[in-house]
Copies of this chain bind each other. A is one copy, B any other.
Amino acid sequence: MAPFGKHPRTIVHDGQPFNAEPPLGLLRRSFITPGEVFFSRNHGSVPEVDPDGYRLAVGGLVERPLSLSMEDLCGGFPKSEVVAVVECAGNRREGMMEVAPIPGETPWGAGAVGNARWAGVPLREVLALAGVGDGARHAAFVGLDEVEGEDGSFPYGGSVPLEKALGPEVLLAYEMNGELLPREHGFPLRVMAPGYYGARSVKWLSGIELRETPSENHFQASEYKLFPPNATEETADLSEGLMLGEMQVNAAVCEPGEDEESSAGPVSVRGYALAGGGRRVERVDVSQDGGETWTQADLGEGAEEPWAWTFWEATIDLGPGEHRVVVRAVDSSAATQPKAAAEVWNFKGYANNSWHGVRVVVR
């Protein structure tokens, strides 16, 4: 049995911290990803939080510091809903590891992504009650988990620019898919910052601090940063690098699976595509010859929604032999995906949005 009630077919990368993803065929079954299928990305413990004793502290550059109970949050503010895709910045790291080694990092396939219906309080409603103070430029979040560090344990944290924090789509979520958050997804309260990599959607939220600068938490200041291709773990200055925020346009073939055998004739190809920053998936191109020629997939659920992923499907006609079936998406700002992981390789293995493909064998 996989822990935390996960689906039995879950691919568990680590037990502690718990990191797991679903196989792609399972992921593609449902536009709304069930909690038991949704990937798990943890950096430390999965805390068990007593909702009755829970308090959210709102402070820093605010006019009125707040301490809010779950009752305050659920009863005192409007409830808002968003269907949002969450992608781990390390999604598809496996593809980068084929270019050059990335030691010490989880070899995520293309399943470190999920799409759920989140409900909760718009963060901006809470910030309006607290009053945004002069000089505030970032909203920093901190969790209740415990991450093992060199000098003892510390909680996970991260931040988003204030401009993002004030967007109507950013929630302090207490529900996932119509139910209270599963413990492993941040019960009783988590940030949901749609359009951003999941790293900023802090789980088991204990505090919000408005600041002039981004969070100084390890995971904002030194991790989840995009370093140049020539930087290495030894040479990189961790205080530099680009703090990751908006997701890059990305797509994956979920069905057929890698190395799957098929009979000759029409084959249905299905997958997901996503865009960051409120951009939509505009077009999905599918190739059956590794990118020499292309056809357009039909866009299904999610194509009209800015924060959700988009399901796509195409029928291709395959003759006997081996085929490399490849996908790439174009977003509403006309941004598209690079061909090879080598083009975007970085020593942390983040943000691999190169063309995704599978080998299909027709006997």
Contacts and interface: CB of A to CB of B under 8 A. Distances in A.
B336 A285 contact: no
A344 B244 CA distance: 24
Interface in A263-298: 276-277, 282-283, 285, 293-296
A242 B332 CA distance: 7
Contacts of A336: 338, 343-344
Nearest to A293: B230
A294 B345 CA distance: 12
Interface string A229-252: 110000000000010111010000
A339 interface: yes
Interface of A: 226, 228-230, 242, 244-246, 248, 276-277, 282-283, 285, 293-296, 330, 332-340, 343-344, 351
Nearest to A285: B228
29 contacts: A226-B330, A226-B334, A228-B283, A228-B285, A228-B294, A228-B296, A229-B285, A230-B285, A230-B294, A230-B295, A230-B296, A242-B283, A242-B334, A244-B334, A245-B333, A245-B334, A246-B333, A246-B334, A248-B334, A248-B335, A277-B333, A335-B335, A336-B338, A336-B344, A337-B338, A338-B338, A339-B339, A339-B340, A339-B343
Contacts of A333: 245-246, 248, 276-277
How many copies of this chain does one complex carry?
2
Contacts of A294: 228-230
A269 to B, nearest CB: 16
A43 to B, nearest CB: 21
A296 B332 CA distance: 30
A237 to B, nearest CB: 11
A276 B230 CA distance: 26
Contacts of A339: 338-340, 343
A295 B228 CA distance: 8
A340 B351 CA distance: 19
Nearest to A343: B339
Contacts of A242: 282-283, 330, 332, 334
A336 B276 CA distance: 14
Nearest to A331: B242
Contacts of A340: 339
Contacts of A244: 334
Given A226-B330, A244-B334, A339-B343, 4 more contacts: A230-B294, A245-B334, A246-B333, A246-B334
Nearest to A340: B339
A25 B44 CA distance: 54
A229 to B, nearest CB: 5
A340 B343 CA distance: 10
A260 to B, nearest CB: 25
A155 B136 CA distance: 47
A334 B244 CA distance: 7
Contacts of A293: 230
Contacts of A246: 333-334
A279 to B, nearest CB: 9
A135 to B, nearest CB: 19
A277 B277 CA distance: 11
